[in-house]
Amino acid sequence: MSAYIIDTGLITPLGIGVQTAYDGMLAGACAVRELTRFDTGELEQVRGGQLAEDDEEMLYSYNQGDENVALAMILHVAGQALDGLDDGPAPALVLATNFGLMETLEWCWCERHETGCLDPNSFRMQQDVVDTIVQRLDLSRPAAQVSLSCASGAAAAGIGLDWLRNGRAERVLVVAYDTLTQFCWSGLANMRTISTDRVRPFDSARSGTIFSDGAAAVLFSNRPEDAASAIGVLHGTATNNNAFHLTAPAKGGDGSRRVMAAALQDASLTAADIGLVSAHATSTVANDVTESVAINAVLGEHAADVPVAAFKSNLGHLFGAASLAEMILALHSVRAGKVPPILNLEDQDDACNINAIRQTAVIGSDTVALINSAGIGGNNAAAIVSARTGQLPPMPARSGRVRMVSAGWVLAGSAGADTALPPDGGWMKGNGLDDYKPQLESVKGYLDPSCRFALGAAQLCLSKAAADTPASESFGIVAATEYGAPQTGYAFYQGLLDKGPRAASPMLFPYSYPNTVANLVAIEFGLAGSHMVFSSLADCSEAVHFAESALRSGAADHMLVIAYEAVNEQVIPDEWVVDNGAVCLWLTIDQDGDGAWRWDEEKKAAAHGGTVRDLLERVGR
């Protein structure tokens, strides 16, 4: 089953609203301007896609004077998508982001670093962003936040589609957002991801990307009553992981090829149906080549006839909002009949042998658009949209009982594995951590404690059930974490405050993403299937639902469900208590019909206590 697209919203450095951005792109506008929100120190690039000053002031006013750019963008862009909504059911909510309310978190970390204190009210603001948006916009549940690096937006659209397909909601509001802050700009600049030139997708002189503020929103529905007001349809989506390297793209664009092919399969479409590709097109030397290879592999003989857009050439890279914004702009281009040309493409690289749009492309209103996206950690997501509204096709029945194959856990003072979780409290009676040092001490260099916990739990879980794991492309991962990898994030920011932006460690930065832990598990064990990370909430329910849905739909044959936390007294308020460690469950479809798997849907997670205890206490024995 597809989903109706009822309305959209967009905020970019080109202005407020979808039409404003689209008109600017057709006119050849570029979003890059001097950065004034934070000190760039001695960094080489001091220009980025910062919101226009007037737009930023308007957003502060819209958010009742609160100078939190990200929160204001979420509320305003959601309001655009919800404008004119009738009195039907309130939408559920999916947020998507790389860094969350990083401005607020920077303020908290700075306070801790300079005064030794951390204000719980400020910290709670960024930690409770999902609940805040639900309450302020009077939305319904389910509600969640996902983080799949720069593929987050399209991945969140997939979550929304899944909720609609499974009858968990009738309407879903998906909002993707990120803002430029000193933390992310310094980290990405020191990793040499940011160009000191311009964004030049597929050009022989390309040298990197330039990041931007941005927020995007889409309201989806499966209600026949909403068909008349629909502006488009989301046909299908897919996610996966390269299972190759934390920062380098897979050879031959394998992950991108597979995720686009999986999206086509999810949509029940073929390469011959695609009339437009919105490429991830980061303007980095490696990505543009591997993505071009992947596009050609997916489209085959049709590739030469399919125009390829690169919206980042105008907008810059909107982080976690990029792919949802590009989905919106691809749909708008289809409805308008024109696709903006790629800015700064002067000499196309021979290795990028795709039909890159050099001049405004004219396309038909029945065009189907494929949106490709990727992100650090090997994350990939793809989505397919069109303006072909009408009656939605029926959803094939999903069936099958889910069975737990094995479980592994690494907790404070205890680690173990079994074919099921032991009775309440039994996990605390395992062997001491010293017995599992091979799983907890990596030879690969720096790892956040949360990475060591999760790698250990996954190793124990997988080795308990089988000597060899099944085929990697059918084995997926879904993770839940309330806090991500904050010890690494705090250590990176400490270095930035003490030594300046230019000296902040590029080794630490990629390990500070909330999804890095799940990505490293995928890389370590070669698990390249369906991939998702839920962040900021202690509740593991959505991770469990994602795993069950992937298994029952056939998107995966096996799924690891991982909960992980690793905080210390520096990164959370003094009075908060979190259960550190990791728990890993191997789930599959029960072929024999006698599988014993039960998730306690009624039990509620303890606020701010982390996902580890929640997963342990809610799995039926």
Say whether 534 sits in a helix, a strand or coil. Answer: strand
Q: What whole-number distance in Å separates Cα of residue 277 and Cα of residue 594? A: 45
Q: What are the backbone angles phi and psi of residue 349, rounded to the nearest 5°?
A: -65, 130
CB atoms within 10 A of CB 222: 21
Encoding tokens for residue 225?
């009553």
Residue type, position 246, single letter? L
Q: What whole-number distance in Å separates Cα of residue 323 and Cα of residue 167? A: 25
Q: What whole-number distance in Å separates Cα of residue 94 and Cα of residue 171? A: 11
Encoding tokens for residue 6?
């009822």
Encoding tokens for residue 619?
């799995």
Contact, 342 vs 352, CB < 8 A?
A: no
Contact, 348 vs 203, CB < 8 A?
A: yes
Q: What whole-number distance in Å separates Cα of residue 504 and Cα of residue 113? A: 15
Block means of pLDDT (10 residues each) for the chain, 621 residues, are 94 98 97 93 92 93 79 96 90 97 94 92 92 96 97 98 95 98 95 93 96 97 92 97 89 94 96 98 95 97 96 97 98 97 96 96 94 96 92 66 90 80 56 46 65 91 72 91 94 93 90 94 94 95 96 94 93 90 92 71 86 89 58
For the whole model, what pTM was predicted?
Answer: 0.95
Q: What whole-number distance in Å separates Cα of residue 42 and Cα of residue 59? A: 30
Q: What whole-number distance in Å separates Cα of residue 454 and Cα of residue 463? A: 14
Encoding tokens for residue 72?
């204001």
Q: Which CATH architecture has domain 402-618?
A: 3-Layer(aba) Sandwich (3.40)
Encoding tokens for residue 548?
């069950």
Contact, 241 vs 515, CB < 8 A?
A: no
Q: What is the pLDDT of residue 442?
A: 46
Nearest CA-CA partner of 481 in 450, 519, 436, 440: 450
CA 29 from centre of chain: 27
Percent composition of the chain: helix, strand, coil (DSSP 3-state, to 5) = 40, 20, 40
Q: What is the pLDDT of residue 398?
A: 61
Q: What is the pLDDT of residue 435?
A: 46
Q: What whole-number distance in Å separates Cα of residue 55 and Cα of residue 61? A: 10
Determine the angle formed by the axes of helices 18-26 and 322-336, rounding to 10 degrees: 70
Q: What whole-number distance in Å separates Cα of residue 32 and Cα of residue 52? A: 10
Q: State how far the alpha carbon of 471 is from the alpha carbons of 218, 258, 458, 463, 558, in Å.
A: 35, 14, 16, 15, 9
| Residue carrying structure tokens 């390297």 | 245
CATH for 3-239+256-386 is: 3.40.47.10
| Residue carrying structure tokens 């149906």 | 273
Q: List the Cα angle 50/52/53 in 5-degree steps.
A: 110
Determine the angle formed by the axes of helices 486-499 and 102-115, rounding to 10 degrees: 70
Residue type, position 360, single letter? T
Encoding tokens for residue 33?
């301007």
Nearest CA-CA partner of 567 in 109, 21, 138: 109
Dihedral angle sign, alpha carbons of residues 287, 509, 314, 32: negative
> For the chain, what are the domain ranges?
3-239+256-386, 402-618
